[in-house]
Amino acid sequence: MPNEYFLALALEAVKKLDWYIGYKSESGFLAFTKSSEDSWNEEIKVLAEGQSIRLISECTGGQLIDWGKNKKNIDRLLQKIEELKSKLCPEVIATLYEDLKPNLIPAHECVLSFPTPTLYDKVVESFFSPTLRQIAL
């Protein structure tokens, strides 16, 4: 599946999950969960990198431990994407992307990025890790 189709499905999934979309570009987007008993506005970042998509969910507040919320967010997003993918034909997905494209920031202007983790980051993440998934397309 082309990255564009994945992004269209992912954005549609975010809408179905009733999360807020804070930023969207041809390369990816930022979304935020709503506050509830189970969630405190975690940030979900989706970024297309070559032939893969990186997904990360992390707490935006002062939480030291996420109690599995970030993993749950990524799992819910992937489940909803798979559900939409099974229901929609490629032509409909292409139309979704074409409808989105005029409102997307061009890839060369995208401010989303994943910095290379330092040793400190790797150690800290082993204790207080945001959930990160990389998917080969």
Specify whether the CB–CB gap between 132 and 56 falls below 8 A: yes
Partner residues linked to 24 by β-bridges: 29
Specify whether the CB–CB gap between 42 and 32 falls below 8 A: yes
Partner residues linked to 132 by β-bridges: 56
Mean pLDDT for 26-53 is: 85
Q: How confident is the model at residue 10, as a pLDDT? A: 96
CB atoms within 10 A of CB 73: 27
At 68-126, the pLDDT tens digits run 899 999 999 999 999 999 999 999 999 999 999 999 999 888 888 756 566 666 666 66
pLDDT mean across residues, the chain: 84
Of 42, 48, 24, the residue nearest 103 (C-alpha): 24
Q: How confident is the model at residue 87, as a pLDDT? A: 96
Query: Is the pTM here over 0.85, yes or no?
Result: no
What token pair was written down for 53? 């998509």
The Cα angle at residue 126 between residues 78 and 53, in degrees rounded to 5? 30
Q: What share of the chain is helix, strand, coil (3-state, %, to 5)?
A: 45, 25, 35
| Strand (E) or helix (H) holding 17 | none
* CB-based burial, 88-98: b 16+ in 10 Å, e otherwise: beeeebeebbe
Q: How confident is the model at residue 105, as a pLDDT? A: 93
